[in-house]
Amino acid sequence: MSQDSFPIRKVDHIRHYVGNARQSAYYYQHVFGFSITGFNGLETGLKHEVDYLLEQGDVKLLFSAPIRPDHPMSPAIARHGDFVQDIAFEVDDVDWSFHESVKRGATPAKEPYSIEDKNGSVRVASIHTYGDTLHTFINRDNFKGHFLPHFQEVNMPGDPIGLVQIDHCVGNVELGAMNQWVHWYEDVLGFKQLISFDDKDISTEYTALMSKVMAGGEGRVKFPINEPAEGKKKSQIDEFLEFFGGAGVQHVALLTNDIIHTVSRLQARGLEFLKVPKAYYDALPDRVGTIDEDIKELEALGILVDRDDEGYLLQIFSKPVTDRPTIFYEIINRKGATSFGKGNFKALFEAIEREQEVRGTL
Ligand code: FE2
């Protein structure tokens, strides 16, 4: 008997709703090195929006923008700014996934339906999760085309930087709502809680937050959920909730197998990252022991290191990629470690506080 009460193959794609999908696609192509591989819009018969598909390794990002004022997503974009609207799962059986999740308490967003063209059909359905975020279930076993029917294949290659797959997606929820969403992922999608961090684990002199890491799809899908905690000053989670207008996706972590290469390229192309003080690197050899990388090289790029029982990991966090201090990216390189960099939390949150100070939002 399968242990997994809700089979999920993997995160299929992440959909961002944005104000201008053409320019977002250009940014992700030229900064992150994604290839633009698909388009859907007026030219392909889509009347109300445009969709650009971008790919690198196994990472698929979809950028969608309304092209008419009465588009149903326009109020959400006005409220949140550009945001992650959908974390889509590839599943064996879309109809079962939708009806079972609704039976277990999910709010339905879109009943199962088929999208068809000459290459076959794709089955799709969606449920609501925190904030205005959806989980779409998708199955393309009966489809010979590339992404979805009606998408025009596009050949606009980027210059890839070694991004392999989505490692995890983090949600920020309101004060007191974390456990409700932890139970939602357990009850509805059969996720298990991997780790819990309380405000003693994640606090600085001024701010604190709490986090629980949920995992599903036999461990392939990892969703940490954060909520703010009491502190002397306003935490980064409060700042997010205020500027975003509620709960939403805070960061997406992208996996690389060569973080020095990936981050060098991102910095050369203008992506800005959080920096920690020199003292962090002075203390590093004692804290993490022997690692393959040259610490001087890590320090020059601002890459952080942490060790757990299984190995170590390297990680770095970008500054927000939108005008609002909301969504950012993590680049992560796992060398055996399956954890999330607990040893870096304090240095990292102090770095975020320095940014908040400059923004006047601490
Ligand atoms: Fe992360």
Region 71-76: what's the mean pLDDT? Answer: 96
Q: What CA–CA distance (Å, rounded) separates 220 from 59?
A: 14
109-119 residue pLDDT tens: 999 999 999 99
pLDDT of 16 above 90: yes
pLDDT score of 349: 85
Instruction: Tell me, in angstroms, the distance from the centre of ligand 1 to residue 99's CA.
Output: 31
Phi and psi based region of residue 33 (left: phi greater than 0; alpha: psi -120 to 50; beta: remaining)? left
Instruction: Tell me, in angstroms, the distance from the centre of ligand 1 to residue 187's CA.
Output: 23
Specify whether the CB–CB gap between 155 and 53 falls below 8 A.
no
Instruction: Tell me, in angstroms, the distance from the centre of ligand 1 to residue 315's CA.
Output: 9
Instruction: Tell me, in angstroms, the distance from the centre of ligand 1 to residue 23's CA.
Output: 26
pLDDT score of 3: 66
Give the residue with greater pLDDT, 340 vs 243. Answer: 243
Under the banding of pLDDT at 50, 70 and 90, the label for residue 280 is very high
pLDDT of 1 above 80: no
pLDDT score of 343: 87
Instruction: Tell me, in angstroms, the distance from the centre of ligand 1 to residue 306's CA.
Output: 13
pLDDT score of 347: 84
Region 213-237: what's the mean pLDDT? Answer: 91
Looking up tokens 């971008």 gives 54
pLDDT of 57 above 70: yes
DSSP secondary structure code for residue 319 in this structure: P
pLDDT of 283 above 50: yes
pLDDT score of 351: 86
Distances (CA, A) of 69 to 48, 65, 75, 153, 207: 9, 11, 9, 27, 40
Instruction: Tell me, in angstroms, the distance from the centre of ligand 1 to residue 242's CA.
Output: 20
pLDDT of 2 above 80: no
What b/e sequence results for 201-211 when a residue is b if at least 16 CB atoms lie within 10 Å of its CB, and e otherwise?
ebbbebbbbbb
Instruction: Tell me, in angstroms, the distance from the centre of ligand 1 to residue 67's CA.
Output: 33
Q: Which residues contact 98 (CB under 8 A, 6 or more apart)?
A: 108, 111, 112, 125, 126, 127, 137
Instruction: Tell me, in angstroms, the distance from the centre of ligand 1 to residue 213's CA.
Output: 10
Q: Which residues contact 170 (CB under 8 A, 6 or more apart)?
A: 223, 224, 225, 226, 249, 250, 251, 252, 253
Paired with 31 in beta bridges are none
pLDDT of 11 above 50: yes
Instruction: Tell me, in angstroms, the distance from the centre of ligand 1 to residue 330's CA.
Output: 6
Region 177-201: what's the mean pLDDT? Answer: 93
Q: What is the largest CA-CA distance in the chain?
A: 60
Instruction: Tell me, in angstroms, the distance from the centre of ligand 1 to residue 95's CA.
Output: 31
Instruction: Tell me, in angstroms, the distance from the centre of ligand 1 to residue 170's CA.
Output: 6
pLDDT score of 201: 81
Instruction: Tell me, in angstroms, the distance from the centre of ligand 1 to residue 340's CA.
Output: 6
The amino acid at residue 88 is A
For the chain, the average pLDDT equals 95
In the chain the domains, ranked by start, together with CATH numbers, are 10-156 (3.10.180.10), 163-359 (3.10.180.10)
Percent of the chain with pLDDT over 70: 99
**Geometric angle at alpha carbon 31, from 28 and 37, rounded to 5°:** 40
The H or E element spanning position 25 is: helix 21-32
Q: Which residues contact 78 (CB under 8 A, 6 or more apart)?
A: none
Instruction: Tell me, in angstroms, the distance from the centre of ligand 1 to residue 196's CA.
Output: 14
Instruction: Kindly report which listed range (48-62, 86-100, 219-233, 295-309) carries the lowest average pLDDT score.
Output: 219-233
Question: Pick from 203, 192, 252: which is nearest to 352 by CA?
Answer: 203
Region 298-324: what's the mean pLDDT? Answer: 96
The model's pTM is 0.96
Under the banding of pLDDT at 50, 70 and 90, the label for residue 79 is very high
pLDDT of 89 above 70: yes
